[in-house]
Chains A and B, each alone.
Chain A
Amino acid sequence: MASATSRPLEYLEGLPGTTFYKLYQQPSTALAIFRRMLPDLAKCFVMAVLYLKDPLPTADLEIWVNSESKKERDNALSILGRLHILSTTLTGENVRAYMITNPFAASLRQALTGAEDSHSFGVFSQAPEHTLTSIANLDEYARRQWEGVMGYMVGTSALSGQRDTVNLSKGVKQLLQAGHLVEIRGNRVDITKDGFGFVLQDVNTQVWHILILYVESAEAIGMDSVEVLSFLFLLSSLELGSSYEKSHMTPNQLRTLTDLADFGIVYQEHADATRFYPTRLATTLTSDSSALSNPVTGSLTGPAGSSGGSGSGFIIIETNYRLYAYTSSPLQISLISLFTNLKYRFPNLVTGKITRQSVRRAIEMGITADQIISYLLSHAHPQLRKHSAAQSSGKGVPASVLPPTVTDQIRLWQLERDRLRATAGFLFKDFTSLAEYQAPCQYAAEIGVLVWKSDRKRMFFVTRHEQVAAFLRSQKFEKQETRSLGVMDTGKHVTKSRPMAFYTAT
């Protein structure tokens, strides 16, 4: 799945089963999780089983999937299992069969048929709209607030004299600090390594990042994380441009609403208003990042106002590493300057060059090559896209939007420094026979958790152990799988008490 989904997915997986039970009571939550967190194939499975009266025997499901797609199937099933959506039972004839767990199935059915009257999808404001807030205004509000947050992190708000500065509430600043995105030293705000990574991500990922931070911190201030989470999923199912009643909400939800307004995720005229508007940041939460790229990111990250309808991108890179950015936004300029040597600045254009020094400098600050490339990619000028599409027509392989020499070189510059990569996980070892070792190893490879294996040493390293352990148990292997830390340092294993990391030397 796209990288954007990984963080909320990881967070949700970490929740205990009872939390899921509470979450899935709401149809809007079931719908949002179904739409946002599951791979395509998993969606097909869920829909196929949803209206079946009896559980679907595992053998039938295996027949249904192509034999070449075993990996995708196991991956889909594993995600469904981790999110507590699919469970296995035994039917009357003692056949293992899949079924959808109950609160989820009931809620999803309710969402599809609409046969319920909880206010799961929000209540429209009935009051006559004196001051109708247009979608353009909402976008502008969302952009200003969100850019304000970014500007605060990067430290541009002080130097953007021409812009009306956004007053960030104390809660926002605390949240950013709690999430280790910024550090406050005395009066100065310093962005951290995580923060650099954060500001270069696309907006959808950023919003999710912030929201997860918010949910995590909600516990600390005495709010129920389930309540906050399901409220977030409710927000994601609202409609842009209409206003919703606040009177049905619980105090905690109202409090959340006020906090989210500071980020520009929702809009209310003032804190005591009887209704609120979701902005595009909220309504596109369950979309893929591509779906919101144009209208939002265009107006959000592009030069304020000036680009308007002309699309989202403003950066042109040539194969000679020169970079031209048609922007006057101080935020964007300071972001670009993180990894570029800027040369000239014109009223609507900055030019510069990506060099080995500039990229190394960025990498030393904790920015990765992938982040730089994805930033460039998501802000590529339409002209670049047009060019690449023109190149690709005729050939089978689509040409990349950015010049391949540049992207490769940025990665190579990173590799010059970056020779080790750590992967947290678990080492399985001490298998008595080769056959005993091979079966779980192969299984781990199929479900996509295998990182490293050594047939000679009969060891393998996985990113998560629950399913492999379950597999071992089901295989009636009585071996105690040693879950211990494998630190591999160019071929040498050191065993410690807790599983933490695996280093791949390159």
Chain B
Amino acid sequence: MNSVDASEHYELGAPDLSPSLLTIVIDTNPHAWAVLEDSLPLSKAIANILVFINAHLACNYANEVAVVASHSQKAAWLYPSHSEPQYRRADHDGDVTMNGTSDTTTPKTNKYRPFRIVEEQVTRNLKELMDSTTGDDLRGNMSTMLAGALTLALSHINRRTLAWAEEHGGANAEDAAADGNGGGTTSTNRYSASNEDERLQSRILVVSVSGSTDAAHQYIPVMNSIFACQRLSIPIDVCKLSGDAVFLQQASDATKGVYMALAEPRGMLQYLMMAFLPDQRSRRHLVLPTRVDVDFRAACFCHRRVVDVGFVCSICLSIFCEPPPGDDCMTCGSHLDIRDNAKPALLPRKKKKKKRVNGASGTGTPMSTPTPGP
């Protein structure tokens, strides 16, 4: 009669699977793509990424996608297009520009419609972005706006997560409302408390080509985005086509994402399909490539140099490549007692110790990023 409790008899159907939101950050830095011209030109890479996007959309009816371009002087949306109204906007004469209308009147029906919409918007916006890039923008600017792109991606994910929660269950929406007033603590509840499977599954894929030493001046904002992702358990996957991305290695390591440096960029589609397509649910069952020897170097707060050994403020954990001027921390302003003109023999150990303190808070990265002062 043990079976009277009936638990064996419930045939619990599998819970409804929530869709996933894939946000792709494409590094469109023209300098870096010029280097890749022979093996994988940008147009081919975009074509591969579009097929990958279609595969993602094919996996579930409600799957969503967003594409951000991290360009040399700005980060811009490729899809969804937030600048849509500008096509219909009347100019000062009151005439309506007719650019956008030609797309809608020529139906190409041999393609599943959601696929076509994404493809058209991405190519159109990318073309606009390239057309708007002038030579002056590129001169003397070798890097890419990764921090801006990650922030755009994160804000989009946040917005979609809230909207989705609101549609699919009342309480989460209320949480969100409370979040506006209450701030910090409730937001983690919203993401982590309810069952992992029950919220929108978001992840970020960074297609990176630029070397990151150029991007050292964005160190702090990039690390802040990474920690935001870590907190919201959004994995950052990195598909590395060229260059060496120190911070992105840390990003995928901290957020348990996939890191892959492509040995053969021409086979990009296969890499994407095999390693980057599975969503968080499937990843539990799969063995996915990660990087073991992660480069944990940080950039200093004073000159944005990537340093192996540096000085760390004992109050706020800011990193400096040389003793700050006047022995005052540039971030928190505390006076630091640097005796004997800073013998580096002691300081590296001090830094290590600080790292461990931070690591103990459960973040898993020995990296300290206090938000810098305004």
Q: Which residues of A are interface residues toward B (Cβ below 8 A)?
A: 1-4, 27-28, 31, 34-35, 40-41, 43-44, 47-48, 50-52, 63-66, 69, 72-73, 108, 111-114, 116-124, 126, 237-239, 284, 286-291, 293-294, 311, 370, 374, 382-383, 385-390, 392-395, 398, 408, 411-412, 415, 421, 506
Chain A residues with Cβ below 8 Å from B139 are: none
Q: Which of A124, A374, A408 contacts B6 (CB 8 A)?
A: A408
Residue numbers in A under 8 Å from B10 (CB-CB): 370, 411
Q: Which residues of B contact A284 (CB under 8 A)?
A: 61
User: A47-B277, A290-B168 given as contacts; is B110 within 8 A of A120 (CB)?
Assistant: yes
B112 contacts A121, C-beta separation under 8 Å? yes
Contact present for B285 and A65 (CB under 8 Å): yes
B29 shortest CB reach to chain A, Å: 27
Bound-state CA distance A382–B59 (Å) is 29
- Chain B residues with CB under 8 Å of chain A are 3-4, 6, 9-11, 13-19, 51, 54-55, 58-62, 107-113, 115-116, 119, 167-172, 174-175, 189, 193-195, 198, 269-270, 273-274, 277-279, 281-282, 284-287
Top 5 A-B pairs, shortest CB-CB distance: A389-B171, A287-B61, A114-B111, A386-B170, A69-B285
Contacting pair A2 B273 (CB below 8 A) = no
By a CB distance below 8 angstroms, the chain A residues around B62 are 287-288, 290-291
Given A288-B62, A386-B170, A2 and B286 touching (CB < 8 A)? no
Docked-complex contact B171 and A386, CB < 8 angstroms:
yes
Chain A residue nearest in CB terms to B16: A290
Instruction: Select A117's contact among B4, B110, B286, beta carbons within 8 Å.
Output: B110
The CA-CA distance from A385 to B175 in the complex, in Å, is: 13
Point out the residues of chain A lying under 8 angstroms from B284, CB to CB. Answer: 66, 69
Which of B18, B270, B286, B287 has a CB less than 8 Å from the CB of A51? B270
Q: How far is the CA of A294 from the CA of B169 in the complex (A)?
A: 10
Q: Which residues of B contact A50 (CB under 8 A)?
A: 273
Contacts A65-B285, A288-B60 given; does A2 touch B16 at CB 8 Å: yes
**A residues near B278, Cβ cutoff 8 Å:** 40, 44
Q: Which residues of B contact A27 (CB under 8 A)?
A: 112
Q: In the complex the two chains form, is B55's CB within 8 Å of A389's CB?
A: no
What residue of chain B has the Cβ atom nearest to residue A397's Cβ? Answer: B195
Q: Which of A113, A116, A291, A370 has the most CB of B within 10 A?
A: A291
B107, B110, B113, B285: the one contacting A116 at CB < 8 Å is B110
Closest to B105 in A: A126
Cβ contact within 8 Å between A64 and B286: yes
- Chain A residue nearest in CB terms to B167: A294
Chain B nearest CB from A97 CB (Å) reads 15
A-B contact pairs, 11 of them (CB 8 A): A2-B15, A31-B112, A35-B61, A44-B277, A51-B269, A120-B110, A293-B168, A383-B170, A398-B194, A398-B195, A411-B9
For B17, give its contact among A28, A72, A288 (CB under 8 Å): A288
Cross-chain contact B279 with A40 (CB below 8 angstroms): yes
